[in-house]
Amino acid sequence: MKDYLLQLADNALILGHRLGEWCGHAPEMELDIALTNIALDLTGQARSLYQRIAELEGLGPNGASKDEDDYAYLRDAWEFRNSLLVEQPNGDFAHTIVRQFIFDSYHYYMCQALTQSTDEWLAGYAAKSLKEITYHLRFSSEWMLRLGDGTEVSHAKMQAAIEDLWTFSGELSTPNEVEKNMASQGIGVDLTKIKPAIEAKWPKCSPPQTSRPPLVHGCNRAERTATTLNTWVSSSQKCSSCSGPTQDRSGEH
């Protein structure tokens, strides 16, 4: 349970931090406020999850009660369980929107399914968060269409962002062992069931996609080390954590 909640919390925290980097630097004031609000939503979601983990885990190593700060600030890099997509640099505004849209598409359907969790707290958390995530998806979807159908320059930038970030999309809808275990107990989401809905959303709000399929890791997120966090998928299409070649999202090592 702890590892599952950490994955959800770390995704929200890291993406929230990335979006927070836009504060005072967005292309226009309205976008500055919107991106900051989304960052605050995600940080709040992460905080709720970390607080729940602290409740489940109990006392810290020194006998003191843990709180959300222990998980957000007192772990080493390799202990974070987030997907690689949310770590990616903001880049230009097109890259930020594509990254957000890919994540929002997953986040919305995942959280929607999570409202049916057999864990009462997790179901309640999902129901509350879904209201915020619905706005996040609407925001990123509208900007995908606006920039993709805009000028030649904006379309080209969106296409370049898709080419750069599409590689990381497969991880979101490919369950690891923790997710499989939680789904089998009715606590977590069966990603294989919501995968069609996630992938059906992408073509509706994006320019023609790259012909290169998303790559899927062959090693577990928890097995990454600090030195491989940002080099997991290299230009040679090998997983730098286990050195095995990666295939499309239906394949294995």
User: What domains sit in the chain, N to C, each tagged with a CATH number?
Assistant: 2-248 (1.20.1260.10)
Asked whether residue 229 carries a pLDDT value surpassing 70, the answer given is no
Using 50, 70 and 90 to split pLDDT, how confident is the model at 30?
Answer: confident
Supply 101's token pair.
């849209």
Between residues 216 and 9, the one the model is more confident about? 9
Which run of H or E residues covers position 215?
Answer: strand 215-216
- Entry pTM: 0.80
Question: Under 8 Å CB-to-CB from 107, ≥6 apart: which residues?
Answer: 11, 133, 136, 137
pLDDT tens, position by position, 136-162:
999 999 999 999 889 999 999 999 999
pLDDT at res. 25: 81
pLDDT band at 233 (very low <50, low <70, confident <90, very high): very low
